[in-house]
Amino acid sequence: MEDRKSVIEQGRCVLGIEFGSTRIKASLVDDKFEPIAAGDHAWENRLENGIWTYHYEDIISGLQDCYRSLKDDVSRKYGVTLKRVGCIGISGMMHGYIPLDEEQNPLTEFRTWRNTITGEAAMELTEAFDFNIPQRWSIAHLYQAVLNKESHLDNIYSLTTLAGYIHYRLTGRLVVGIGEGSGIFPIDTEKGTYDEQMMKKMNELCQKHMRQWDVEDMLPRLLPAGSKAGILTAEGAKLLDPDGDLEVGIPFAPPEGDAGTGMVATNSVRVRTGNVSAGTSDFAMVVVDRKLGVHREIDMVTTPAGAPVAMVHCNNCTSDINAWVQLLAEFSGLVGGETDMGKIFPLLFNKAMEGDKDCGGLLSFNYFSGEGVTNLDAGKPLFLRRPDAKFTLANFMRTHIMSALATLKLGLDILTKEEMVVIDKMYGHGGFFKTPGVGQSILAAAVDAPISVMETAGEGGPYGMALLSAYTIWGEEDETLEEFLEHKVFKDANSTTLTPDSEDVRGFNQFAEAYKEALAVEREAIKVTC
């Protein structure tokens, strides 16, 4: 405790703050790469006028509350006031759209990754670029605004993402890490820049709609991991810590997306390694060494160091599980039983392991919003069962857990079975894996590959962002991010690995086939207003 107190007082620690879908989280990490304090703030997106968003005042107040929570944790544990750190990094939900005027004021509501309102733009850009542009990418939002002739475009000067916006508010610099940038516009991974030919085509498309732009001038500058991305300004320090304790001048790492921080947190930045992040959304990231074909279900992004990554992103994962568990907890309380969610989740997750491998004739769709992998612009949660189904609690829970990964499996099957991508190591992290062995074994069945979970898997994105901050100030000259993580951060890391059970794999494949066939039911349900 005294050592850590000294580390904090001397600023020999780094801070990562991540804006997730349901929580803003902060992780303070010492010079031994161990988390020593944490903070968080709960929040929820809003569906307003058909657009998924978070209000800007909620973004700022949430940031402040999260940091205040971290300060309180430091004070409670170590009896000191947090005044300085070695480096800070901001990460957030990738993609989305924040257009800014010349004074860098937002011109519209923040349009999050969850929106599926850019189908026309995404399709036209994908065809023009011969490169998959998902609906959630920033460039798809911009071009859809062009197609819609939105009035805010008359005043647009730049655009950025959530992480890029917060970084700007704290440092005054409009930059992003290259991994975050790869969800804004396609990247030339050899040059580490926005793709020149695609940018030329983008400008031509905009000019056809009377927008005489050089789109690259609007986009934030790209920085690879390890770059100095600015310092905390006096205005930024006051914004982050209204108490006035935080010192001005703290260096910043390039702001990154939650996909990249998940890769870093699981040491999954080398070629033929991958990770699955599972929470409100879930996505798989696999580092590849060659160009892949164009698939609507697969995005090509990069690691924070700029290496090419095949990404399968699903908008929906645990929200439906959470809703059902809340309902079961309410019933438990009604009959005088357990109501502590921290105890109920493990009980129900472990119960799922007693269920039939194929879920015994039960099926669910966890679609709270649209889903790009299955080509749905909207979602409606559904629970289905055959008349002869084995309707047990174990099968019920297993169904919802497998449903959370079913769409991800459809995308990964394209990657491994059609593109023949080889994955040597796959790591899991996020809230889905909190109950030991359950989410891990079901993911292994879905992927049909060994899945490892590190002891730090629960730390997730803010921990990964803190490690990128550490690399910014403690990485040696010519030391790659891969080397820094493998030889310094994770050299003694403990992890558990589960290999897939053949019966689990067979059961998940049967479940997936039924899932694909029943997508017709989900499509019809979306059409019905009730």
At 130-150, the pLDDT tens digits run: 999 999 999 999 999 999 999
Structural domain includes residue 395: yes
Predicted confidence band at 459 (pLDDT cuts at 50, 70, 90)?
A: low
Angle, vertex CA 448, rays to CA 521 and CA 414, nearest 5? 55
pLDDT at res. 457: 60
Q: Mean pLDDT throughout 279-294?
A: 88
Average pLDDT score, the chain: 94
Q: What is the CATH number of the domain that holds 244?
A: 3.30.420.40
Considering the domain architecture, whether residues 20 and 134 belong to the same structural domain is answered as yes
Structural domain includes residue 52: yes
Structural domain includes residue 314: no
Place of tokens 């059609």: 418
What is the spatial distance between Cα 38 and Cα 46, in angstroms, rounded to a whole number?
A: 26
Considering the domain architecture, whether residues 333 and 262 belong to the same structural domain is answered as no
Yes or no: say if 199 and 187 are a contact pair by the CB < 8 Å rule. no
β partners of residue 189: none
Using DSSP's 3-state secondary structure scheme, residue 277 falls into strand
Which residue segment(s) compose the domain that 106 sits in? 2-266
Structural domain includes residue 213: yes
Predicted confidence band at 530 (pLDDT cuts at 50, 70, 90)?
A: low
Considering the domain architecture, whether residues 261 and 324 belong to the same structural domain is answered as no
Yes or no: say if 374 and 410 are a contact pair by the CB < 8 Å rule. yes
Place of tokens 């979602």: 379
pLDDT at res. 2: 74
Residues contacting 316, CB < 8 A, separation 6+: 281, 366, 367, 368, 369, 371, 379, 404, 407
User: In degrees rounded to 5, what are phi and psi of residue 325?
Assistant: -65, -40
Structural domain includes residue 298: no
pLDDT at res. 460: 79
| Pairing status of strand 23-30 against strand 13-19 | antiparallel
Structural domain includes residue 71: yes
Helices (H), 231-372: 234-240, 258-265, 319-334, 341-352
Q: What is the 3-state secondary structure (H, E, C) of 208-236?
A: HCCCCCCHHHHCCEEECCCCCCCECCHHH
Structural domain includes residue 422: yes
pLDDT at res. 456: 67
Yes or no: say if 318 and 408 are a contact pair by the CB < 8 Å rule. no
Q: Which candidate, 258, 302, 314, places its Cα nearest to that of 23?
A: 258
Structural domain includes residue 223: yes
Using CA of residue 393, residue 395, residue 398, residue 402, what is the dihedral sign? negative
Q: How many CA atoms lie within 13 A of 295 on its CB side?
A: 22
pLDDT tens for residues 477-488? 999 999 999 999
Considering the domain architecture, whether residues 327 and 218 belong to the same structural domain is answered as no
Considering the domain architecture, whether residues 95 and 198 belong to the same structural domain is answered as yes
Considering the domain architecture, whether residues 505 and 356 belong to the same structural domain is answered as yes
pLDDT tens for residues 16-40? 999 998 899 999 999 999 999 999 9
pLDDT tens for residues 375-389? 888 899 999 999 999
Considering the domain architecture, whether residues 30 and 109 belong to the same structural domain is answered as yes
Yes or no: say if 194 and 129 are a contact pair by the CB < 8 Å rule. no
Residue ending a domain, choose from 222, 238, 266: 266
Yes or no: say if 485 and 267 are a contact pair by the CB < 8 Å rule. yes
β partners of residue 437: none
Predicted confidence band at 458 (pLDDT cuts at 50, 70, 90)?
A: low
pTM of the complete model: 0.85
Considering the domain architecture, whether residues 217 and 335 belong to the same structural domain is answered as no
What is the spatial distance between Cα 319 and Cα 390, in angstroms, rounded to a whole number?
A: 24
Residue ending a domain, choose from 222, 243, 266: 266
pLDDT tens for residues 486-511? 999 999 888 889 999 999 999 999 99
Residue ending a domain, choose from 221, 250, 266: 266
pLDDT tens for residues 29-78? 999 999 999 999 999 999 999 999 999 999 999 999 999 999 999 999 99
What is the spatial distance between Cα 509 and Cα 206, in angstroms, rounded to a whole number?
A: 44
Place of tokens 């009959």: 335
Q: Which candidate, 328, 326, 332, 386, places its Cα nearest to that of 360?
A: 386
Considering the domain architecture, whether residues 141 and 224 belong to the same structural domain is answered as yes
Predicted confidence band at 451 (pLDDT cuts at 50, 70, 90)?
A: very high
Query: What is the count of structural domains for the chain?
Result: 2
